Structure 1
Amino acid sequence: MDERWLQVLGLVLIIEALLPFISPRSYRQAVQQIANTPDKALRAIALVILVVGAVLVMLSHH
């Protein structure tokens, strides 16, 4: 596995763990709100995040 992929994975894990580490109560409330969000809205939000992420990756290669 390329060293960059390990760095990227490590950063993702760090970012994902920040909120539950800093504020478990807020994290729990956010997860409950997400659980109550309709599937269609979650898919739309996920699509936007995927597109933004893909654009950022593409821009980082130039």
Structure 2
Amino acid sequence: MGFILLALGLVLIAEGLVYALAPSLVEHLLEMLRALSEAQRRNAGLAALALGLILVWLAFRFGV
């Protein structure tokens, strides 16, 4: 349970920093995402999921 809370906290910190430091960049990114097709957004989501899994695996592999 502790790792889940840690992971959630880190995600919220990263998200909060983006919104606090560059809110106009977030709006521009959302406009770019709207321009993508549903299939392209799905593929980007799957790529992000795969990268996240690899990073978590590496963290555990090297001793978190």
Which TM-score tier does this pair reach, normalised by the shorter chain? 0.7 to 0.9
Given the two structures, how large is their TM-score scaled by the length of structure 2? 0.81
Q: Which residue of 2 aligns with 1:57?
A: 56
RMSD: 1.2
- Give unpaired runs (5+ residues) of structure 2: none
| Structure 1 ranges of 4+ moved more than 2 A | none
List alignment gaps of at least 5 residues for structure 1. none
Deviations 1:2-57 (A, max 9, x none): 22211110000111122221111111111111122111111111111111111111
Identity %: 28
What amino acid sits opposite 2:14 in the alignment?
A: I
Total equivalences in the alignment: 61
The AA in structure 1 aligned to 2:42 is: R
TM-score by length of 1: 0.83
